[in-house]
A and B are shown apart, each in its own frame.
Chain A
């Protein structure tokens, strides 16, 4: 499947792009993180500690075990600091 991956805040700076299109058969967010981490040294550094990341699957906050079947948009970012 083809996934649109978005990065926000410090994660965007680490990866070096705000979005990229990725072909993947990853079953879960966790599996996708392993694939993304292998794309470049910058990706590897950005995804070194998955537990420190937050994720949205098709614009819904999701955990690392969220399934990716049928998903189109993934976003990765640090913990949110609104308010």
Chain B
């Protein structure tokens, strides 16, 4: 059960070593930088040091409580991340698959719009543009509320 924010690349297999021992199922999600039709070279990710780590830990603990997870791990990178490289990962371990799938989905919805990260596109033509939050991300998050 851990949340981490780091600049360095990560190795998924290494992150999963010893993860979720005794669980019936483990779900992992890995986010990867898209090239957006060839227009992008990298994403630059800014975060709120201190607050980000603490909030990720809170969201993980909340997911564990809600879905009965036996283990969870959140890792999110910041800084410049090249197209094709891994941005972040979420892993959830539970006795049965549905809890693990749902908890991973839940965590991703919280990370998308309630974790203090901001993405900036670094484009092939040298320009930069902040990525705007999507209304659909708020809709996704709303699915988990009031229940």
Interface size class of B (residues with CB under 8 A): 20 to 34
B119 contacts which chain A residues (CB < 8 A)?
81-82
User: Residues 72-83 of chain A: 1 if any B CB is under 8 Å from the residue's CB, otherwise 0?
Assistant: 000101111111
Q: Within 8 Å of chain A (Cβ to Cβ): is B108?
A: yes
Interface size class of A (residues with CB under 8 A): 10 to 19
Q: Are A80 and B108 in contact (CB under 8 A)?
A: no
CA distance in complex: A12, B118 (Å): 12
CB distance from A9 to the nearest CB of B (A): 4
B117's partner among A6, A56, A61, A80 (CB-CB below 8 A) is A80
Taking A59-B54, A83-B31, A83-B88 as contacts, is the C-beta distance between A78 and B48 under 8 angstroms? no
Residue of A nearest to B107 (CB): A83
B112's partner among A56, A59, A78, A83 (CB-CB below 8 A) is A83
